[in-house]
Amino acid sequence: MDAIILLGGPGAGKGTLADALRKQKGFFHVSTGDMLRAAVKSGSDVGLEVKSCMESGELVPDSVVLNIIKERVTRESSSAQFMFDGFPRTLEQAEGLHTFFSEIGGVITHVFNLDADREALICRLTARRTCKTCGAIYHIINMPSKVDGICDVDGGELYQRADDSEETILNRLEVYQKQTAPLIGYYRDLGLIRDIDAGGSAAETEALVLAVLNG
């Protein structure tokens, strides 16, 4: 079992890149963000805990995230190729993943560090809108819907997620720098980091990553 990891601050383009790589390379896309939002929607005790963390911009407890990841990975065969998007976010999660993958004979092959300017990240996130019905994502500047506030796919209402407000974004960036950025050093020491300039278009970022994977 192989896996790659996408690292980068909020708004670096991990989700967009992950979708492109899934189509191009056939990875199983494991998005902790999607999984955590599903937990919130379920209304379970775990979901309520996750909701509180997400709305304040704080990280969800490592134990909760690791259990969600383990449950997802063990659904697939030993030959599966995974792509982790938004995970790990702390050294504890990284170490937990390393231990788990060692136990199941898995290998992390690449860790892509998507690097973008702080102001660009804030602009990307504050202008992001999501469909309430299907979850499609738009950007009011770079990728607006055809009709303002309405999803092109199913006509659902577009809204700004609570974790995309400017106040929460600033807190998310601060949390990232304090708790997640050290992962770059951790994986660099393991020889797995591949630095990617994510300041350009999504297509440019995709091309840079594919060049590494296909090399």
All structural domains of the chain with their residue ranges: 2-116+179-214
Q: In what order do the strands lie in the sheet with 28-31?
A: 28-31, 81-85, 2-8, 107-115, 193-197
46 or 9, which is more confident?
9
Pick the CATH number of 2-116+179-214 from 3.30.365.10, 3.40.50.300, 3.30.980.20, 3.30.390.50: 3.40.50.300
Burial of 80 (0-12, 13-18, 19+ CB in 10 A): middle
d(CA 197, CA 66): 28
Q: What is the pTM of this model?
A: 0.77
* pLDDT score for 36: 81
Q: Using one digit for the tens of pLDDT, what is the confidence trace for 147-200?
A: 999 999 999 999 998 878 888 888 888 888 888 888 999 999 999 999 999 988
Asked whether 61 and 32 are in contact (CB, 8 A), the reply is no
Q: Using one digit for the tens of pLDDT, what is the confidence trace for 86-123?
A: 789 889 999 999 999 999 999 999 999 999 888 888 88
Q: Which positions are annotated as active-site residues?
A: 14, 89, 128, 161, 172
d(CA 203, CA 201): 5
Examine the pLDDT at 23 and tell me if it is beyond 80: yes
Instruction: Dump the DSSP string for 182-212.
Output: HHHHHHHHTT-EEEEE-SS-HHHHHHHHHHH
Q: Using one digit for the tens of pLDDT, what is the confidence trace for 28-51?
A: 998 887 888 887 888 888 788 888
Examine the pLDDT at 58 and tell me if it is beyond 90: no
Cα–Cα nearest to 128, from 162, 103, 152: 162
* pLDDT score for 208: 96
* pLDDT score for 167: 85
